[in-house]
């Protein structure tokens, strides 16, 4: 079979771009073809204008799409120069986006599922939880943040019909004080799951993967890497595998079977 | 765009319908770009470096951003020639049939490995119009840039690979001592030279005192190195008579035109492919427009036409 690529370059227009928390923003982009092609867990590589010396695109997962309106919802944190410039893109401004990139979550029907998100890992996890709920599963959601002002996703988790929604903050400013893995352990003791989906800091995902493996539950993790192209041309976003060697985050992932990753 | 300028060039026996090539490692193996445009319109593509046996490449992280560029430490991750041909051979054969020349890059840790990889390509890749011997990768511990570090070492590799194929051999050169090394390669029968490979650099995370990448040094590419690359192409052009492929920070037809004027017959688009995936055909259009604006009927009239 001949290899083929379904990744395209699209224009987008910013429909809205507002702060929804401390350094957390919600950007709605209008890009009808991309909106109809993206599947939960896939990502896009966005050119952020305003500084010609900054040549690399920024990869983002998304929280939701609205194919009818032709829009894609991004939730992102301002962590550096690129995301700062993105946060300053006003409604009506335009740029380009490469996508849809990578493979999404496997959201086939099944038993009860647990979605565990840390920080800005929440958008793709909410997208996964929504798709799992639509596939007829019971879904519980754990959302972790450093502090209440950095938390995003609780309303979305409740709106998608999640069974239990547990919020943790590192500083105890909201919800349970502690880490998502502690909340996950409590849920694993109370419910029978057959799937865990997770996205967040690598150290958190490694803990989630360990707990899932210990409980004999399949776990899908969405990984983040420094990334250049997003469509398999440069080999810079490698992920080390337990069995040895590497896979490509943008082509084989970003969602991996957590048991195959060398955490 | 309509133009009467003939854009066909001959890169040491590789007959390209136009001068635009792609730099190895920045273009996958071509098919990744078919979702963006018809790759068949390019003059050539150069595939990702491939060795006789698979290489894992370097640990993550392999890339960091720099002002007007990036630094990478991929380390020539490749599946080995057999798997390369099995996975991409049909596509690359089709690309040749669409008029885009396929140049397969050959990697090795030693002279024996270059020879073995080239022998396998020679046997398994009849679709290739030519081969690029990479003696300048800065990201591998053995071989790589060491194989092209001196005129003597480069000549030794060239002498060993030359008898293994009748197809054109291009040699990918490191960014130093280009005049001397180019002369040595020409003397051993290289058909063309491509330059420059990435420039070794360092980026240190001062908080952790560690490299920002998985190795202490890595290769700098992108617009930041363009002027250096143009100068080196000019030096090589003055030193040898075999054709050159200019590589380094090409983002526009103007950048490509600088290489042509400095003496390059072909020009590879590299890092820009990764951040602007439709760059190569745009640059081809801009280069064609520039050639027309210079009042020539054939782009070859502009090769080395730099006036000083």
Record: contact B35-A231, CB cut-off 8 A: yes
Which residues in chain A have their CB less than 8 angstroms from residue B34's CB? 4-5
**Interval B122-145: pLDDT, tens:** 999 999 999 999 998 877 776 667
Q: Which residues pair with residue B109 across a beta bridge?
A: none
Residue A234, token pair as written in the block: 């440069």
Which residues in chain B are contacts of A232 at CB distance < 8 A? Answer: 28, 32
What Cα–Cα distance (Å) separates residue B234 from each residue in A48, B86, B262?
Answer: 35, 39, 5
pLDDT at A1 over 60: no
Q: Is the pLDDT of residue B1 over 60?
A: no
Q: Which residues contact B19 (CB under 8 A, 6 or more apart)?
A: B7, B9, B43, B256, B260, B264, B265, B266, B267, B287, B299
The secondary structure element, H or E, covering residue A182 is helix A180-190
The reply to whether residue A54 touches residue B65, judged by beta carbons under 8 angstroms, is: yes
Using CA atoms, how far residue A155 sits from A123, A141, A186, B106, B242, in Å, is 12, 11, 22, 54, 66
Give residues with Cβ within 8 angstroms of A46, minimum separation 6.
Answer: A12, A57, A58, A59, A60, A86, A95, A96, A97, A98
Query: What's the rounded Cα separation, in Å, for the pair B200 and B116?
Result: 27
The fold of A8-101 is Elongation Factor Tu (Ef-tu); domain 3 (2.40.30)
Q: What is the mean pLDDT of residues B92-101?
A: 98
Mean pLDDT of A200-205: 96
- Is B308 a residue of the active site? no
Which pLDDT score is estimated for B138?
A: 78
Least-confidence region, from A146-150, A160-164, A253-257, B226-230: A160-164
- Binary contact (B274, A47; C-beta < 8 A): no
Q: Is the pLDDT of residue A181 over 80?
A: yes
Residue B137: predicted pLDDT: 82
CA separation, residue A165 to residues A127, A161, A251, B143, B290 (Å) = 15, 10, 32, 55, 61
User: In this complex, which of B31, B56, B278 lies closest to A245 when CB atoms are compared?
Assistant: B56
The pTM of the full predicted model, rounded to 2 decimals, is 0.95
pLDDT for B2 beyond 60: no
The reply to whether A113-260 shares the fold of A8-101 is no
The two structure tokens encoding residue B287: 């280069």
CA distance B63 to B201: 12
What mean pLDDT comes out for the span B166-195? 97
Separation in Å, CA B169 to CA A156, B51, B239, B244, B246: 59, 16, 18, 12, 16
Element (H, E) at A239: strand A238-240
Interface residues of A toward B, Cβ cutoff 8 Å, are 2-9, 47, 52-57, 98, 225-229, 231-240, 244-246
Residue A162: pLDDT over 90: no
- Provide the pLDDT for residue A2: 63
Alpha helices by DSSP H, listed for chain B, are 81-97, 111-124, 151-161, 178-187, 226-239, 253-262, 271-275, 279-293
- Residue A68 three-state SS: coil
Catalytically annotated residue among B50, B100, B104, B137: B137
- The CATH code that applies to domain A113-260 is 3.40.50.80
Percent of chain B with pLDDT over 90: 94
Predicted confidence at residue B3, as pLDDT, reads: 66
Give pLDDT, residue B126: 97
Rounded Cα distance, A48 and A35, in Å: 19
Q: What value of ipTM does the predicted structure carry?
A: 0.93
Q: List the domains of chain B with CATH numbers.
A: 9-302 (3.20.20.70)
Q: Residue B140: what pLDDT?
A: 78
Which of A6, A58, A236, A241 should one mutate to test binding to chain B, selecting the residue with the greatest count of B CBs within 10 A? Answer: A236
CA A23 remoteness from chain centre: 17
Q: From CA A197, how far away is CA A112, in angstroms rounded? A: 12
Q: pLDDT tens digits for A96-133?
A: 999 999 999 999 999 999 999 999 899 999 999 999 99
Alpha-carbon distances of A261 from A244, A252, A253, rounded to whole Å: 9, 12, 11
Chain A CB contacts of B35 under 8 Å are: 4-8, 231
Contacts of A202 in chain B (CB under 8 A): none
Which H or E run contains A210?
helix A202-214
Q: CB–CB of B213/B202 below 8 Å?
A: no
* Residue A5 with chain B: CB contacts under 8 Å: 31-36
Sorted by where each begins, the domain ranges of chain A are 8-101, 113-260
Please judge whether A5 and B33 are an interchain contact, meaning their C-beta atoms are less than 8 angstroms apart.
Answer: yes
Average pLDDT over residues B283-297: 97
Bridge partner list, B133: B106, B171
DSSP B100: -
- How far apart are alpha carbons A200 and A71 in whole angstroms? 24
Q: How far is B108 from chain A (nearest CA, A)?
A: 18
Spatial contact of B39 and B30, defined as CB atoms under 8 Å apart: yes
Sign of CA dihedral B257, B258, B263, B266: negative
Q: pLDDT band for position B308 (50/70/90)? A: confident
Which pLDDT value is given to residue B83? 97
What stretches of A65-135 show up as alpha helix (H) in DSSP? 81-87, 122-134
Percentage helix, strand, coil, to 5, in chain A?
A: 25, 35, 40
* Mean pLDDT over the full length of chain A: 96
Average pLDDT over residues A41-58: 96
* B38/B96 Cα distance (integer angstroms): 13
């Amino acid at each position: 079979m001949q290899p083929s690529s379904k990744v395209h370059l699209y224009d987008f227009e910013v429909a809205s771009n507002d702060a929804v928390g401390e350094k957390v923003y919600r950007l709605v982009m209008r890009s009808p073809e991309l909106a109809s092609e993206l599947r939960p867990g896939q990502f896009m590589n966005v050119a952020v204008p305003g500084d010609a010396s900054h040549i690399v695109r920024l990869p983002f997962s998304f929280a939701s799409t609205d194919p009818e309106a032709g829009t894609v919802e991004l939730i992102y944190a301002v962590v550096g120069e690129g995301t700062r410039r993105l946060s300053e893109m006003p409604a009506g401004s335009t740029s380009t986006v490469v996508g849809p990139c990578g493979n999404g979550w496997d959201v086939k029907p099944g038993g009860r599922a647990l979605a565990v998100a840390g920080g800005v890992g929440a958008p793709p996890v909410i997208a996964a939880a929504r798709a799992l709920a639509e596939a007829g599963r019971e879904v519980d959601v754990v959302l972790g943040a450093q502090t209440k002002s950095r938390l995003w996703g609780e309303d979305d988790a409740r709106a998608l019909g999640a069974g239990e929604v547990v919020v943790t903050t590192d500083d105890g400013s909201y919800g349970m004080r502690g880490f998502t893995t502690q909340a996950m352990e409590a849920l694993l003791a109370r419910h029978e799951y057959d799937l865990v989906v997770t996205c967040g800091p690598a150290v958190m995902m490694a803990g989630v993967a360990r707990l899932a493996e210990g409980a004999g539950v399949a776990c899908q993790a969405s990984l983040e890497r420094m990334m250049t192209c997003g469509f398999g041309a440069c080999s810079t976003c490698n992920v080390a595998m337990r069995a040895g060697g590497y896979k490509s985050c943008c082509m084989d992932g970003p969602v991996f079977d957590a048991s195959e990753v060398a955490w | 765009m309509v133009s009467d300028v003939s854009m066909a060039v001959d890169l040491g026996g590789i007959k390209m319908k136009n001068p635009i090539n792609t730099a190895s490692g920045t273009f996958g193996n071509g098919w990744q770009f078919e979702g963006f445009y018809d790759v068949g319109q390019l003059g050539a593509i150069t595939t990702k470096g491939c060795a006789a046996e698979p290489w894992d490449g370097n640990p993550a992280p392999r890339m960091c951003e720099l002002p007007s560029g990036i630094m990478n430490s991929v380390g020539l991750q490749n599946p080995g020639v057999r798997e390369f041909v099995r996975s991409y051979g049909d596509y690359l054969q089709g690309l040749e049939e669409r008029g885009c020349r396929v140049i397969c890059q050959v990697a090795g840790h030693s002279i024996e490995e270059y020879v073995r990889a080239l022998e396998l390509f020679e046997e398994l890749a009849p679709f290739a119009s030519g081969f690029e011997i990479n003696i300048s990768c800065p990201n591998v511990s053995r071989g790589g840039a060491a194989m092209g570090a001196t005129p003597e070492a480069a000549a030794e590799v060239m002498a060993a690979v030359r008898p293994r194929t009748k197809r054109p051999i291009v040699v990918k050169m490191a960014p130093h001592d280009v005049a001397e090394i180019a002369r040595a390669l020409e003397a051993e029968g290289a058909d063309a030279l491509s330059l420059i490979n990435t420039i070794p650099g360092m980026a240190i995370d001062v908080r952790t005192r560690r490299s920002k990448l998985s190795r202490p040094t890595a290769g700098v590419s992108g617009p930041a190195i363009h002027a250096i690359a143009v100068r080196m192409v000019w030096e090589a052009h003055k030193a040898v008579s075999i054709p050159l492929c200019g590589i380094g920070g090409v983002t526009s037809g103007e950048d490509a035109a600088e290489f042509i004027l400095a003496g390059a017959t072909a020009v590879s688009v590299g890092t820009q492919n990764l951040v602007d995936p439709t760059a190569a055909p745009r640059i081809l259009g801009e280069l064609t427009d520039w050639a027309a604006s210079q009042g020539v009927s054939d782009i070859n009239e502009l090769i080395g036409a730099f006036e000083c």
